[in-house]
Structure 1
């Protein structure tokens, strides 16, 4: 078990289709999640207790809010009880995944005893900003610690994201930590993009050559990135959780400060696309690393990286 007792943000409700089972893996265990028409979320271990079929390959019965096994069409309710002939209901047989809902955000402790409280930052963001969508939701073929570190490595943008943002220098103005929370204030200095790059991603038109970022770090799963643009403040919530020993899941909810009415449908997709390109570049780098070893070189501005490493290894 990786970081038992840590709170994990696993989804926004918009990531689940109504009455469609979704396979979900955390800390080496498979679960099936589903959402009904009322927006209620259910989660069970993915294995049918009859003969081991994958419940996520089954279907949802809307009238009863049950999930049907694809093997024998046995139905299970949100508490894991089987619906038997003559409408008899068994005791719970399929184990539930205990969920904690925070507005439209879905959290879990992976059925472990909580060690940290769930941060309220997403509740605050939901009242102060406008949710515009989720970027990514992809699996990285890399251990959780690798993905955790890159989210706190302020130096990697100069190399990993040069293709997109042309970053030539990064400066850390401040770093403050307080237990399992920290804040970084950084600046990226960019070269100008080419005309072709602007055509391929119009979001670059709204990215200044000097990018100021505030990073709020909520160990272990969230890095909330605030940035300013001509379109108003943009907030990206970098979210990760461990799937298995060597795979990690990542997705990024996005919020904006302003609404531009009918132009939202034009301006928001490129913003999401640019964020997805950030994910793609991070994933490509992480999946191409040699096995981890003790770094033989130390760079400046590595305080956030050392902070998160210490918390992880001292958990």
Structure 2
């Protein structure tokens, strides 16, 4: 058997799985590990979907108030800014949500970490990672989503969670945060197992710039072609 070539950088072990590298490993995970506490891995799933469908779902900024409506009760998604840097991008979203009831907080204390308006900064590394930067009075959060093709119609996801506590309360909700993200991934997996594949799009919706970014890069990877999608 041929040995599997590994790349060791800081706290992380990477591999290209025996394939020729098309892009270099970004340093962002090492930067996070220096300043943030690792609180766990969650959401690992093998999903019966192709990698393009997975990426489109994960960069569909409309799906939060559809797929995850019951969980977060987001009332609206506003894409304030999208910065297109080729295979790297940033999306800044404002998401007003309904305030949770007392019993919803008792059932899921992680609700305390979510304000009335969710200000999300999503940093995207095509094709393998999406990073959610979250900040509030309790904690700063780095939610690192990884996307891996297993076969032509099978993909794997998992999430690494890092935190910087601003209040002692933050340490009390670590397990709840892991459970919350696991539920998010489970909801995504259910949706991806039910969608129609390769259905031509006939209606253009707002907030699809993330999906446009995925489609462009998927077609030309590892090269980057026009248009530039910054807004």
- TM-score, structure 2 normalization: 0.90
CA distance in 2, matches of 1:183, 1:206: 23
* Mapping of residues 14-25 of structure 1, within 5 Å: none
CA distance in 2, matches of 1:150, 1:110: 25
- Superposed CA offset, 1:194-229 (max 9, x none): 444322211012211100011111111111101123
1:262 to partner: Cα distance: 9.7
CA distance in 1, matches of 2:55, 2:6: 23
Of the two, which has the highest radius of gyration?
A: 1
Residue 43 (structure 2) aligned to one of 136, 141, 150: 136
Unaligned residue ranges in structure 2 (runs of 5+): 222-231
The structure that is helix-richer by fraction is 2
- Superposed CA offset, 1:261-294 (max 9, x none): 7973x32000111111110111111111122212
CA distance in 1, matches of 2:5, 2:167: 39
- TM-score, structure 1 normalization: 0.67
1:104 to partner: Cα distance: 2.7
Figure out how many residues of one structure are paired with residues of the other and give that number.
221
Secondary structure of the corresponding residue to residue 173 of structure 2: helix
4+ residue stretches of structure 1 with deviation over 4 A? 259-263
Note the aligned Cα RMSD (angstroms).
1.6
Residue 85 (structure 2) aligned to one of 150, 161, 178: 178
2:143 is the alignment partner of 1:236: yes
1:256 — aligned with what?
Answer: 163
* Mapping of residues 150-189 of structure 1, within 5 Å: 150-189=57-96
Deviating more after overlay: 101-110 vs 198-207: 101-110
CA distance in 2, matches of 1:95, 1:140: 28
User: Which one scores higher on RCO, CA 8 angstroms, separation ≥ 6?
Assistant: 2
CA distance in 1, matches of 2:170, 2:94: 29
- Superposed CA offset, 1:95-130 (max 9, x none): 222221222322221211111110000000011211
CA distance in 2, matches of 1:225, 1:168: 19
